[in-house]
């Protein structure tokens, strides 16, 4: 049970805040405003294929997300807007399978073979956009901001036009992160107000279905368990969420039932064993059932569930980005192999493998 660094990509000249992986492409968001697209086939075939126009956003790119079932990328920025990028097809992408390992991708700016186009810019938030997330079907985009609100936008197949469907203002502070359930129309938002809120579509508008209280500090991130066969009817007992906080804990929350008013009842099922010394910035619940967490102390940890809904730490690696804080961790499926990707203040994206 060891974590091994597979690849370290020095991509950005400043903090790397966010990354997302889909159809073999890793996208990164950074303070330096250059969104990079890197093709990752396996540890030996990693290549920079695009650097998006860094004049579109005026401030840091805080969050990037690939739209499911399409070739669209959304990026949320501190300049309060969200940009949408696209490429008609990724088929004409010729990625040479040269054996040359590209460690320093910043040098490869003349190898842009993808060339994604800017499709749209979405305005609405009053200040820094902190998080963006696509619903599983790709028709809804959730955005959250320091302006304390969560917005839900609707789009069509083309992804060019966006209409605001809901403006949700129930958090009392900066909203750091939003994430959709992998199959249900359910959104979770995490905030500086120490709570996580769950949002559901109540016929005419989205509303808060539940408030999860318990963390004793800012909640930075949350992630749903990847139960892909869940439906609204089979939710009970199998809908779970994990969260990461300033209070150095990772918690697992479980949905109990709906009450008579349509509100959801949740409980805190577990607090994972303590690993981190300081703020935990990111948490990811993999399809393999394992939870990964990372944060200010630079440690990457993997937890596994045991009987009785207890959890144990099965892997731990310190100083994953040297002395720098690590902002994000995600489980990514690279051609069938589950790897972990982390992004840190050193501007690097690191890929990790672990052997059970």
Query: Of the candidates 14, 1, 19, 34, which has an alpha carbon nearest to the alpha carbon of residue 341?
Result: 19
Whether residue 300 contacts residue 2, with contact meaning beta carbons closer than 8 Å, is answered with no
φ and ψ of 126, to 5 deg: -85, -25
In the window 142-201, what residues touch other proteins (CB under 8 A)? 146-149, 151, 154-158, 160-161, 163-170, 172, 174, 176, 192
CA separation for the pair 201, 351 (Å, rounded): 37
Whether residue 64 contacts residue 35, with contact meaning beta carbons closer than 8 Å, is answered with yes
Minimal distance, residue 104 CB to other proteins, in Å: 28
Minimal distance, residue 101 CB to other proteins, in Å: 34
CA separation for the pair 164, 181 (Å, rounded): 20
* Interaction of residue 272 with other proteins, rule CB under 8 A: no
Interacting residue with other proteins among 49, 208, 291, 349 (CB under 8 A): 208
Minimal distance, residue 130 CB to other proteins, in Å: 8
Helices then strands (H, E): number in the chain?
0, 29
C-alpha separations of 320 from 40, 185, 294, 306 in Å: 20, 35, 9, 26
In the window 67-126, what residues touch other proteins (CB under 8 A)? 78, 117-121, 123-124, 126
CA separation for the pair 28, 343 (Å, rounded): 8
Interacting residue with other proteins among 91, 92, 94, 204 (CB under 8 A): 204
What is the β-pairing status of strands 36-42 and 61-66? unpaired
CA separation for the pair 205, 197 (Å, rounded): 16
Site size for other proteins (CB under 8 A)? 46
Interacting residue with other proteins among 203, 229, 307, 355 (CB under 8 A): 203
- The neighbour count for residue 104, using CB atoms within 10 Å, is 10
Q: In a 3-state reduction of DSSP, which class is residue 92?
A: coil
H helices of the chain, where? none
CA separation for the pair 341, 352 (Å, rounded): 6
Site string for other proteins, 222-261 (x = CB under 8 A): ---------------------------------------x
**Residue whose CB is less far from other proteins, 42 or 297:** 297
Minimal distance, residue 52 CB to other proteins, in Å: 14
Whether residue 24 contacts residue 51, with contact meaning beta carbons closer than 8 Å, is answered with no
* Interaction of residue 139 with other proteins, rule CB under 8 A: yes
* Interaction of residue 277 with other proteins, rule CB under 8 A: no
Minimal distance, residue 110 CB to other proteins, in Å: 24
Minimal distance, residue 164 CB to other proteins, in Å: 4
Site string for other proteins, 324-353 (x = CB under 8 A): ------------------------------
CA separation for the pair 24, 348 (Å, rounded): 18
- Which window, 140-148, 233-241, 248-256, 332-340, contacts other proteins (CB under 8 A)? 140-148
- Which window, 105-113, 141-149, 316-324, 329-337, contacts other proteins (CB under 8 A)? 141-149
**Residue whose CB is less far from other proteins, 86 or 284:** 86
Contacts with other proteins by CB under 8 A lie at: 78, 117-121, 123-124, 126-128, 130, 139, 146-149, 151, 154-158, 160-161, 163-170, 172, 174, 176, 192, 202-205, 207-208, 261-263
């Amino acid at each position: 049970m060891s974590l091994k660094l597979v690849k370290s990509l020095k991509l950005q000249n400043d903090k790397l805040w966010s990354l997302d992986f889909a159809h073999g492409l890793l996208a990164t968001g950074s303070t330096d405003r250059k969104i990079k697209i890197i093709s990752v086939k396996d540890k030996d075939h990693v290549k920079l294929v695009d650097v998006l126009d860094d004049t579109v956003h005026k401030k840091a790119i805080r969050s990037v997300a690939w739209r499911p079932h399409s070739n669209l990328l959304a990026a949320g920025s501190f300049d309060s807007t969200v940009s949408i990028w696209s490429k008609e097809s990724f088929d004409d992408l010729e990625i040479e399978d040269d054996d040359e390992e590209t460690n320093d991708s910043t040098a490869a700016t003349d190898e842009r073979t993808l060339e994604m186009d800017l499709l749209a810019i979405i305005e609405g938030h009053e200040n820094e956009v902190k998080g963006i997330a696509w619903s599983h079907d790709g028709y809804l985009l959730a955005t959250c901001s320091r302006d304390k609100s969560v917005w839900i936008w609707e789009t069509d197949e083309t992804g060019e036009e966006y209409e605001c469907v809901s403006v949700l203002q129930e958090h009392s502070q900066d909203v750091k992160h939003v994430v959709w359930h992998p199959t249900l129309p359910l959104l979770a938002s995490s905030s500086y107000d120490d709570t996580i809120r769950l949002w559901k579509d109540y016929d005419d508008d989205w509303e808060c279905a539940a408030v999860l209280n318990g963390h004793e500090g800012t909640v930075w991130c949350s992630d749903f368990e990847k139960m892909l066969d869940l439906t609204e009817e089979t939710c009970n007992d199998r809908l779970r969420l994990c969260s990461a906080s300033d209070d150095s804990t990772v918690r697992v929350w479980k949905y109990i039932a709906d009450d008579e008013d349509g509100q959801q009842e949740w409980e805190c099922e577990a607090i994972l064993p303590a690993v981190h010394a300081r703020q935990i910035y990111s948490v990811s619940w993999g399809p393999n059932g394992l939870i990964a967490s990372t944060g200010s102390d630079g440690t990457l940890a993997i937890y596994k569930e045991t009987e009785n809904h207890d959890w144990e730490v099965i892997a731990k690696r310190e100083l994953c980005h040297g002395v720098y804080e690590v902002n994000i961790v995600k489980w990514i499926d690279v051609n069938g192999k589950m790897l972990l990707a982390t992004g840190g203040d050193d501007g690097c994206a690191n890929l990790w493998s672990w052997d059970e």
